[in-house]
Chains A and B, each alone.
Chain A
Amino acid sequence: MELQDRLEELNASGIGVAAISYDSPEVLAEFAQRRGITFALLADIDSTAITDFGILNTVAEEGLGPNGDDPEVVADVAKYVSMFGASNLIVGTPYPGTFMLDAGGRVSARFFEEFYRERNTTSNVMLKIGIGVSPVAAIEGSTAQLKFTAYPSNSSITVGTRFSVAVDVVPNTAMHVYAPGAETMGYKVIGLSFEPDELLRFEPVEFPESEIYHFKPLDEYVPVFQQPFTLLQEIVVDASETSEGIMSQMDTLTLSGTFQFQACDDAICYLPTSLPVSLTLDIDNPDRQRANSR
């Protein structure tokens, strides 16, 4: 289970971890034993905490109520409850997601989805909040201007997975590469792009904050990256029934893309470079095993 796999890294970063659901302690004990879970699984049996946190899924009850046939309710049930219609099982559940709290107990980040079948992976959360993950299944490369490591947050994905491909870039001494905004001055901004795939939705690439560089030969002030930095390409695996059917016939999925950049030192600019990036991910089937106790 992914959160369990990442637990040591999270704890080493000083982050406490707990999962909350409406299950009883007995159901949670069985699940913990079956999956080797060592972090706290909290039993919010009456959904009191879920309700106090303001994230109780009210659509579940609506779908079973007198307005259940209202087209708006039906649409919301498909989005927030189940593609197969309203069910008693969902009553009392939260809209699923993660709150990151700082040392003072205040929310520092939140990761919630608008479609119940999409889910941020723990590794994706860790990448996005800056804890980082150890590169696994990584591609490493270097040119005369920089070194880079491209790796997925998760080496296996399933229906609805929200994960990222990270590229750690280390410009060589005295080198810089171009950040968003530099294209207005005719420079090639660093980027990562993948070929479209019917199963995947690509979010805009996330860039860290850049710095302004004064290029003396042309007296230009340009946004650049000079220090080591990471690009994040977030990807969502489609969660429709059709996609689930297609993926059930596949063992792996390959991302084919390009890493492109233009590097300059304080005297000259090098030609824009395009390097192929290919990453193959394993496809998992969702765990649907149920506990024996209630």
Chain B
Amino acid sequence: MRTLILNVIGRVICATLLLSLSALAAAQGRAVIEVATLGPQIGDPVPSFSLRDQHGQNQTLESIAGMNGTMLLFHRSADW
């Protein structure tokens, strides 16, 4: 009898633990996206890059940059 009771108590504890764990997992969810916080912020340097342009020529930040700075525009596509 005692073994039975202990068994039942053991299973209830297990089930409760499992339920709590899955509730925790669900509660953590996805990170909220805030584009303003993504990527280099004001004052930060930017990653170096080496990409071909529309003429097939390789360009880097150094080759693009003007004397007073640079405008880097990231867009989705020129094609649609």
**Which residues of B (17-57) have their CB < 8 Å from a CB of A?**
29-30, 33-36, 38-47, 49, 51-56
Q: Tell me if A264 is interfacial: C-beta within 8 Å of chain B.
A: no
**What residues of A have a CB within 8 angstroms of the CB of B59 in the complex?**
18, 40, 42
Interface residues on A, range: 35 or more
A29 to chain B, nearest CB (A): 4
* Known contacts A13-B68, A18-B70, A105-B65; A43/B51 CB under 8 A: yes
Whether the Cβ atoms of B54 and A29 lie closer than 8 Å is yes
**Cα–Cα, bound, A93→B11 (Å):** 50
**What residues of B have a CB within 8 angstroms of the CB of A11 in the complex?**
66
**What residues of A have a CB within 8 angstroms of the CB of B73 in the complex?**
3, 17-20, 97-98
Q: Tell me if A89 is interfacial: C-beta within 8 Å of chain B.
A: yes
Interface centre among A80, A99, A106 (most CB of B within 10 A): A99
Residue among B40, B53, B71 making CB contact with A125, cutoff 8 Å: B71
Q: Tell me if A94 is interfacial: C-beta within 8 Å of chain B.
A: yes
**What residues of B have a CB within 8 angstroms of the CB of A41 in the complex?**
53-54, 78
**What residues of B have a CB within 8 angstroms of the CB of A199 in the complex?**
none
**Which residues of A (95-118) have their CB < 8 Å from a CB of B?**
95-103, 105-110, 112-114, 116
* Known contacts A29-B54, A42-B51; A76/B72 CB under 8 A: no
**Cα–Cα, bound, A198→B46 (Å):** 39
Q: Tell me if B12 is interfacial: C-beta within 8 Å of chain A.
A: no
Q: Tell me if A16 is interfacial: C-beta within 8 Å of chain B.
A: yes
Interface residues of chain B, those whose CB is within 8 Å of chain A, are 29-30, 33-36, 38-47, 49, 51-56, 59, 61, 64-80
Interface residues of chain A, those whose CB is within 8 Å of chain B, are 3, 10-11, 13-23, 25, 27-29, 31-32, 37, 40-44, 48-50, 52-55, 59, 70, 72-73, 76, 80, 89-90, 93-103, 105-110, 112-114, 116, 122, 125, 288, 290-291
Report 9 cross-chain contacts, Cβ distance below 8 Å, ordered by A residue.
A19-B78, A50-B74, A72-B30, A98-B74, A101-B70, A102-B69, A105-B61, A108-B42, A108-B69
